[in-house]
């Protein structure tokens, strides 16, 4: 709180509303008593102007393209850490020391298997089932396979059995769903591989063709998961908070977050970008046709991978992912025409006033799919990759919400009713 206030005059009365200031200098008008004091609620479709909570996990500065997890700049973390180190940071608030990281690594190995009965689920999804619907179903079912997690020693703080279990198993669920989708035998997690190498091995190892784990690919996957690990109150994280606020346990809350992330305006964009680039490629590089469609106010078509609710400059994650893309393709000597198309599209958009005037720059989803393609991950798994990265962020926010005893109440927004106010009942014989 500050000693500043905002004045609101309505119906001849002037109210003093407290001003809240963040540790980073952002300011907000605290309206938590607005209805009680004024009889008015606020209206803010899409929550463009509304803060849902106070949080100490991630800081975004959309104007200057700054992203920090627990105060550490994303570029430093991506350059110097492995993914589970950053997951530990998000969950506990501190980077792990060597001993803590090794213990966390052991947890990732200990909890990597999924209950063998869960594997039967894969046999009963339709053959073309979406990996995101499989992921949401399987994560939700963990609650029934591991009911003891309700009795967790400290269900809301730091690294608990429930959180370590989920972080490790989501990787296995993702890889197993891929293997089932292509009819290959499952490859089980190994005790001698770290988090990302184990995932790549479970995805691509085959009984007849051994898979060579390229350190460059493992390093790139660590970076991508780190860059996706949290992003304050985005749509899916807000979903996890809202669902969790009803008192439901962790796994069903995360299952709901998977559903929110699936949308093409959110985590589904990384796959949509590849489909857009492939369309432009198939349409003989007719860039202008798609740029004009995106600019046409009467056409719902958008250039997916561009624009962001918070960033009004280049998404700092996109910058790093673009560098990773070049590094991977050049080092692995991979030719992907979609990278050239993406760069040409970015160049043309960057010169077009429609996009420049609306601060529409590449976001985290614009280049990430090209890296996943280079790894051999199919397009329909790209949003699953986003979920693997975002999981520690979702869990951290769920925990933070429950630990905030003063403000932890069920989320229940209000509305402004615009329907028919009242009318007499019409019996069946009188209805037209």
Question: Which residues are part of the catalytic machinery?
Answer: 308, 365
Q: Which of 147, 200, 223, 183 is nearest to 389 (CA)?
A: 223
Total Cβ atoms within 10 A of residue 391 = 26
Spatial contact of 257 and 240, defined as CB atoms under 8 Å apart: yes
Q: Torsion-angle region of residue 223: left (phi > 0), alpha (psi -120 to 50) or beta?
A: alpha
In whole angstroms, the minimum distance from the beta carbon of 234 to ligand SDX comes to 3
CA dihedral (216, 107, 178, 243) in degrees, to 10, reads: -120
In whole angstroms, the minimum distance from the beta carbon of 354 to ligand SDX comes to 7
Specify the residue, 225 or 360, whose C-beta has the smaller distance to ligand SDX. Answer: 360
In whole angstroms, the minimum distance from the beta carbon of 290 to ligand SDX comes to 10
Spatial contact of 307 and 360, defined as CB atoms under 8 Å apart: yes
Residues of the shown chain interacting with ligand SDX in the complex, contacts defined by CB under 6 A: 231, 234, 265-266, 269, 294, 302-310, 358, 360, 363-365
- H/E element, 270: helix 269-282
The rounded distance, in Å, linking the Cα atoms of 385 and 175 is 10
Question: How many Cα atoms within 13 Å fall on the side-chain side of residue 371?
Answer: 28
The rounded distance, in Å, linking the Cα atoms of 253 and 184 is 31
Spatial contact of 156 and 399, defined as CB atoms under 8 Å apart: yes
Q: Which residue is nearest to ligand SDX (CB)?
A: 307
In whole angstroms, the minimum distance from the beta carbon of 323 to ligand SDX comes to 18
Specify the residue, 166 or 360, whose C-beta has the smaller distance to ligand SDX. Answer: 360
Q: Which residues contact 212 (CB under 8 A, 6 or more apart)?
A: none
Specify the residue, 218 or 304, whose C-beta has the smaller distance to ligand SDX. Answer: 304
Specify the residue, 143 or 228, whose C-beta has the smaller distance to ligand SDX. Answer: 228
In whole angstroms, the minimum distance from the beta carbon of 232 to ligand SDX comes to 7
In whole angstroms, the minimum distance from the beta carbon of 11 to ligand SDX comes to 32
The rounded distance, in Å, linking the Cα atoms of 163 and 169 is 10
Specify the residue, 136 or 234, whose C-beta has the smaller distance to ligand SDX. Answer: 234
Specify the residue, 23 or 45, whose C-beta has the smaller distance to ligand SDX. Answer: 45
């Amino acid at each position: 709180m500050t000693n500043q206030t905002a004045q609101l005059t309505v119906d001849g009365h002037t109210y003093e509303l407290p001003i809240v200031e963040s540790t980073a200098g952002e300011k907000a008008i605290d309206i938590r008593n607005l209805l009680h004091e004024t009889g008015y609620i606020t209206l803010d479709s899409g929550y463009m102007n509304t803060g849902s909570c106070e949080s100490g996990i991630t800081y975004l500065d959309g104007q200057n393209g700054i992203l920090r997890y627990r105060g550490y700049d994303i570029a430093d973390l991506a350059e110097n850490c492995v993914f589970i180190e950053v997951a530990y940071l998000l969950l506990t608030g501190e980077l792990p020391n060597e001993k803590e990281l090794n213990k966390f690594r052991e947890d990732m190995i200990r909890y990597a298997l999924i209950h063998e009965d869960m594997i039967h689920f894969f046999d009963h999804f339709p053959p073309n089932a979406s990996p995101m619907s499989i992921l949401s179903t399987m994560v939700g079912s963990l609650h029934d396979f591991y009911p003891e997690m309700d009795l967790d020693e400290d269900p809301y703080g730091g690294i608990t059995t429930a959180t370590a279990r989920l972080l490790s198993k989501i990787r296995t669920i993702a890889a197993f769903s891929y293997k089932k989708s292509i009819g290959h035998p499952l490859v089980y997690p190994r005790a001698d591989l770290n988090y990302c190498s184990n995932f790549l091995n479970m995805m691509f190892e085959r009984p007849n063709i051994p898979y060579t784990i390229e350190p460059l690919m493992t390093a790139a996957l660590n970076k991508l998961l780190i860059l996706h690990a949290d992003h304050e109150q985005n749509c899916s994280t807000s979903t996890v908070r809202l669902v969790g606020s009803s008192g439901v346990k962790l796994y069903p809350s995360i299952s709901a977050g998977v559903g929110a992330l699936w949308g093409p305006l959110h985590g589904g964009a990384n796959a949509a970008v590849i489909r857009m680039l492939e369309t432009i490629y198939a349409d003989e590089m007719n860039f202008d046709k798609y740029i004009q469609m995106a600019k046409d106010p009467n056409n719902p078509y958008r250039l997916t991978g561009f624009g962001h609710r918070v960033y009004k400059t280049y998404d700092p994650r996109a910058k790093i992912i673009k560098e990773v893309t070049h590094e991977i393709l050049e080092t692995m000597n991979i030719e992907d025409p979609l990278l050239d198309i993406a760069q040409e599209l970015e160049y043309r958009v960057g010169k077009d006033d429609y996009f420049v005037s609306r601060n529409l720059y590449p976001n985290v989803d614009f280049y990430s799919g090209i890296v996943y393609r280079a790894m051999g991950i199919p397009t329909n798994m790209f949003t699953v990759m986003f979920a693997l990265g975002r999981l520690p962020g979702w869990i951290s926010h769920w925990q933070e919400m429950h630990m905030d005893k003063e403000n932890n109440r069920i989320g229940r927004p209000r509305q402004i009713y615009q329907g028919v106010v009242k009318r007499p009942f019409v019996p069946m014989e009188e209805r037209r």
